[in-house]
């Protein structure tokens, strides 16, 4: 009987996007940023994270993302050896070293592990990591222009009694199932339901409905998204009414305009839901107005944190 040999080191055959990561006090090329398969952040998805973007060399609303990340850590009883200023410094370094002027930046804390592989989370050493890769969007350029085709899946978003949605987390199997349901219907992305049968959210985004000039967005069981929060702030500046509450599937398909919001893409119009055309079938005036101010605010000092880049990068 012959046995295979144990390799002296791992050769990774996969290709990764260009970027820089921070892990265990080291800055690394994206392809070198790896976690042990034994980390409970992987084996139990026992982790929280936040994603912030950089646009033309400046973070957008970094403070809000840091707030949510540190609140998530406390709720999961995780600790990291860095304070807000130090995390900011790490994120800035990842972006600066990557050279990306438009970046998708993620900070993560996993439960980590212990050398004994103990199942007691109190015995694990929590692990902080971060990375910067090129800016990503839920909607591609064409979809941004014409609006997304969305389908509603009857999958229920994991309810708050199971997992606190204010802790930004990686429990996505409901959302992934929703995505495949949407693909099966010929749509491009999905919205899934809350436990009352109303619309909750989609894979990585919140949803807004525009009816008679005012906005409403679901509140129960959804991630309190920073872009969602930003829409509230933009509506305040634009004097557009916005409220939170139950959004039925009928309210969605009968809306004048629908858009979804995410750090990955910002304000993204929806042109159809379950093959029903929304409004005129073109991105509507309210969506467009909010989207324009959203991007304009990326140059406002109050909402941005500039990154200094090394010379020549």
Nearer to a second copy, 205 or 208 (CB): 205
What is the C-alpha separation between 194 and 201, in angstroms, rounded? 8
In the window 240-259, what residues touch a second copy (CB under 8 A)?
none
Nearer to a second copy, 97 or 247 (CB): 97
Nearer to a second copy, 4 or 301 (CB): 4
- Least distance between a second copy and beta carbon 13 (Å): 6
Tokens (6 digits) for 222: 């959804």
Place of tokens 């409901």: 174
Residue 131 interacting with a second copy (CB under 8 A): yes
Nearer to a second copy, 32 or 236 (CB): 32
Q: Binding residues for a second copy, how many (CB under 8 A)?
A: 89
Nearer to a second copy, 182 or 297 (CB): 182
CA-nearest of 41, 247, 269 to 157 is 247
- Least distance between a second copy and beta carbon 234 (Å): 25
Instruction: List the one residue from 7, 85, 250, 301 that touches a second copy (CB under 8 A).
Output: 7
In the window 28-47, what residues touch a second copy (CB under 8 A)?
28-38, 41-46
Contact 60, 266 (CB under 8 A): no
What is the C-alpha separation between 4 and 277, in angstroms, rounded? 58
CA-nearest of 222, 149, 154, 246 to 193 is 154
Binding part of the chain for a second copy, among 53-61, 113-121, 236-244, 293-301 by CB under 8 A, reads: 113-121
Place of tokens 């000092």: 301
Residue 76 interacting with a second copy (CB under 8 A): yes
Sorted by sequence, the CB contacts under 8 Å of residue 124 that are 6+ apart come out as 40, 111, 112, 113, 114, 118
- Least distance between a second copy and beta carbon 115 (Å): 4
In the window 77-96, what residues touch a second copy (CB under 8 A)?
77, 93, 96
In the window 153-212, what residues touch a second copy (CB under 8 A)?
155-159, 161-164, 167, 169-177, 179-180, 183, 195, 203-204
Sorted by sequence, the CB contacts under 8 Å of residue 46 that are 6+ apart come out as 40, 76, 110, 111, 121
In the window 201-220, what residues touch a second copy (CB under 8 A)?
203-204
Q: What is the DSSP letter of 265?
A: T
Phi then psi dihedrals of residue 158, to 5 deg? -50, 120
């Amino acid at each position: 009987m012959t046995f295979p040999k144990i390799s002296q080191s791992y050769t990774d055959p996969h290709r990764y996007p260009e970027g820089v990561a921070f892990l265990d006090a080291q800055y690394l090329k994206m392809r070198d940023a790896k976690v042990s398969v034994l980390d409970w952040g992987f084996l139990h998805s026992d982790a929280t994270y936040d994603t912030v973007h950089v646009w033309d060399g400046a973070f957008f609303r970094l403070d809000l993302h840091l707030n949510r990340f540190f609140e998530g850590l406390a709720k999961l009883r995780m600790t990291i050896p860095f304070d807000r200023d130090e995390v900011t410094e790490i994120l800035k370094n990842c972006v600066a070293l990557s050279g990306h002027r438009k970046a998708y930046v993620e900070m993560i804390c996993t439960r980590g592990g212990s050398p004994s592989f103990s199942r007691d989370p109190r015995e694990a050493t929590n692990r902080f990591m971060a990375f910067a890769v090129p800016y990503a969007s839920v909607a591609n350029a064409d979809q941004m222009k014409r609006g997304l085709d969305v389908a509603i899946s009857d999958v229920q978003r994991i309810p708050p009694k199971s997992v606190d949605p204010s802790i930004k987390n990686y429990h996505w199997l409901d959302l992934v199932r929703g995505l495949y349901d949407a693909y099966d219907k010929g749509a491009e992305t999905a919205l899934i339901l809350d436990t009352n049968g109303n619309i909750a959210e989609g894979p990585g985004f919140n949803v807004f409905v525009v009816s008679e000039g005012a906005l409403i967005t679901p509140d129960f069981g959804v991630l309190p998204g920073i872009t969602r929060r930003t829409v509230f702030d933009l509506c305040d500046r634009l004097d557009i009414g916005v409220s939170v509450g139950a959004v039925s599937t009928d309210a969605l398909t009968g809306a004048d305009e629908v858009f979804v919001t995410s750090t990955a893409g910002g304000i993204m119009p929806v042109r159809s839901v379950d093959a029903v055309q929304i409004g005129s079938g073109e991105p509507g005036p309210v969506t467009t107005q909010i989207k324009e101010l959203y991007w304009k605010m990326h140059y406002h000092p109050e909402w941005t944190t500039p990154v200094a880049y090394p010379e020549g990068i």
